[in-house]
A = this chain, B = another copy of it.
């Protein structure tokens, strides 16, 4: 299903996408999900896609070669908000063209996009565009957006990322988020595209396509896992000795045996770890 993540921190923007597509487990391919629209010194706009590949490619085609009569294009819009609207309109155009035929084959019109960047002296902005062509924007309280297989990689971002996170740390966070996703879901795969945009640069200065040979990603992949296991082993295990120390009448703390068979026990809370309170739970 792909996984793409974009982050907006004070110092810049991070865009990371994978390249795996699949039409079932026996049909896995590699297609780039990231497009860059750069007019050096004037604008940098990055577009990432997830969902049905034919739909997202069609949308990118519309965006890359706007039809005569369409005044607005990603090269000409005056603001990033208008850029998001242009993407939304492109999605709707492809919908008008293809949705009915897809329905006849039972295929859902499923696509999502992230578009972000900076135009001129305006602030950096990042948006997520839905299949319906409408969109939401990343903000200080929610400084990142994800599309595709987003859940596996969300916890680490929630723990670490804030708007004041330095740009390279944000990139590192995105890569770790991607690494967690790669380990847990086959529909996301290498190589990865990573673009780090420095605020007000108005040009692409940092881009890399990472495959299995990339030393940095290999370092993340092995080190993060090893350190996690180390931290895991250093955290104390639960202590259950207090249960065994209780008088036997309290050991199981379940209703007397006479109440079965046929009745499901209502488990009661017992003091099982240092300093935990003994509590009786309510009924099922």
**A interface with B by C-beta (< 8 Å):** 31-32, 34-40, 57, 60, 63-66, 73, 75-76, 149, 151-156, 158-160, 166, 168-169, 171-173, 175-176, 180-181, 183-184, 193-196, 203-211, 213-216, 219-220, 223-225, 227-229, 231-240, 243-244, 251-254, 257, 260-265, 267-277, 279, 281-282, 284
Contact = CB atoms under 8 A, between A and B. Distances in A.
Contacts of A203: 252
Contact of A216 (B155, B227, B276, B281): B276
Given A64-B263, A227-B235, A235-B220, A206 B156 contact: no
The 4 tightest CB contacts between A and B, nearest first, are A151-B151, A209-B269, A168-B237, A208-B272
Instruction: Count this chain's copies in the assembly.
Output: 2
Contacts of A235: 172, 176, 219-220, 223-224, 227
Nearest to A196: B240
A55 B239 CA distance: 36
Given A155-B180, A159-B229, A215-B275, A206 B35 contact: no
B204 A252 contact: yes
Contacts of A168: 237-238, 240
Contact of A36 (B32, B267, B273): B267
B223 A227 contact: no
Contact of A264 (B35, B213, B279): B35
Nearest to A151: B151
A209 B265 contact: no
Contacts of A254: 36, 38, 204
B152 A207 contact: no
A172 to B, nearest CB: 6
B234 A264 contact: no
A161 to B, nearest CB: 10
A265 B46 CA distance: 10
Nearest to A203: B252
B34 A267 contact: yes
Given A37-B265, A209-B281, A214-B276, 6 more contacts: A37-B260, A65-B262, A152-B154, A206-B240, A208-B271, A214-B277
B262 A215 contact: no
A168 B235 CA distance: 11
Contacts of A73: 261-262
A243 B198 CA distance: 14
